[in-house]
Amino acid sequence: MTAPKATNITWHAGELDRAARARAHGHGGATLWLTGLSGSGKSTLARRVERRLLERGVFAYVLDGDNIRHGLCADLGFSPEDRHENIRRVGEVAKLFTDAGAIVLTAFVSPYRADRDAVRALFDRARDGEGALPFVEVHVAADLATCEGRDPKGLYAKARRGELRDFTGIDAPYEAPSAAELTIDTGSEDVDASAARVIAWLEARGHLSS
Ligand code: ADP
């Protein structure tokens, strides 16, 4: 955890606790952390799950890599240090949304195991005395050949031509999760089937009811 620079700051407990927010929403918060190669289908799956959840009245929200890099993380590039800071900030934002009671879907390559583990540790830490928040690592697994074949943004072609540096899978590493709660193989399953499986997983563990 990054220690605060400021010293004269105090944690302020609110009038409502997490259980009260869960009662109001009809469910508690959780973060589904989607990780996988570019083009593996993280955004596509996250948006489909978000839509299906909204359709049944669940407060769901996607934090998407490219979109966040337009704002909150506009100052960051793709060096290991910047990727680390990108994931740290997104982890903090996801934690706030989760505390607020949302089902958060994050869609970031997040290639380093240590960075993902640091976010998990952030969720496990009970800073406010209310206990851990649910953090669910979802490996959106499609092999490099599949992702490169899709190449929805033409980025693999650019990376192969040497026009794009530090591209995960080509000249930057991807460390696959060793203990993801869920693995979705988008090479062998269509997006609706994957979305249904994610939602069934949440439902079975009581995340969609209060
Ligand atoms: P990422 O967010 O991981 O970079 P995107 O969701 O932007 O990936 O792109 C994945 C591409 O793969 C999209 O063009 C999508 O339509 C396609 N695709 C094909 N099959 C699937 C699937 N089963 N799940 C998700 N995306 C799929």
Ligand 1 center to 44 CA (angstroms) = 5
Give pLDDT, residue 127: 64
Q: How confident is the model at residue 128, as a pLDDT?
A: 63
Q: Please indicate whether residue 210 or residue 57 has the higher confidence score (pLDDT).
A: 57
Residue list, ligand 1 pocket, CB within 6 Å: 36, 38-45, 107, 150, 152, 186, 189-191, 194
Whether the per-residue pLDDT at 10 is higher than 90: the answer is no
Report the separation in Å between the CA atom of 125 and the middle of ligand 1, taken as the mean of its atom positions.
33
Task: Specify the ligand 1 atom closest to the Cα of 44.
Answer: 6
Q: Please report the pLDDT score of residue 45 as a whole number.
A: 98
Mean pLDDT of 131-153: 96
Percent of the chain with pLDDT over 90: 85
* Mean pLDDT, residues 145-156: 97
pLDDT value of residue 60:
98
Helix (H, G, I), strand (E, B) or coil at 16: coil
CA 126 to chain centre: 20
Q: Which domains does the chain have, with CATH numbers?
A: 24-204 (3.40.50.300)
Catalytic residue among 110, 194, 209, 210: 110
Average pLDDT, the chain: 94
Residues 6+ apart with CB under 8 A from 46: 32, 34, 62, 64, 105, 106, 107
Is 110 one of the catalytic residues?
yes
Instruction: Evaluate if residue 40 carries a pLDDT over 90.
Output: yes
pLDDT at 2 over 80: no
- Per-residue model confidence (pLDDT) at position 168: 96
For position 65, what pLDDT does the model report?
84
Q: Whose CA is nearest to atom 10 of ligand 1?
A: 41
Q: Calculate how far, in angstroms, residue 46's C-alpha sits from the geometric centre of ligand 1.
A: 10
Q: Is the pLDDT of residue 126 over 70?
A: no
Please list the alpha-helical segments (H only) found in 26-137.
42-55, 65-68, 80-100, 113-124
| Proportion of the chain above pLDDT 70, given as a percent | 98
R_g over Cα of the chain: 18
CA of 128 to the centre of ligand 1 (A): 37
When pLDDT is averaged across residues 152-161 and rounded to a whole number, the result is 97
Is the confidence at residue 178, as pLDDT, over 90? yes
Q: Which of 32, 44, 105 to mutate to test the pocket of ligand 1 (most atoms within 8 A of CB)?
A: 44
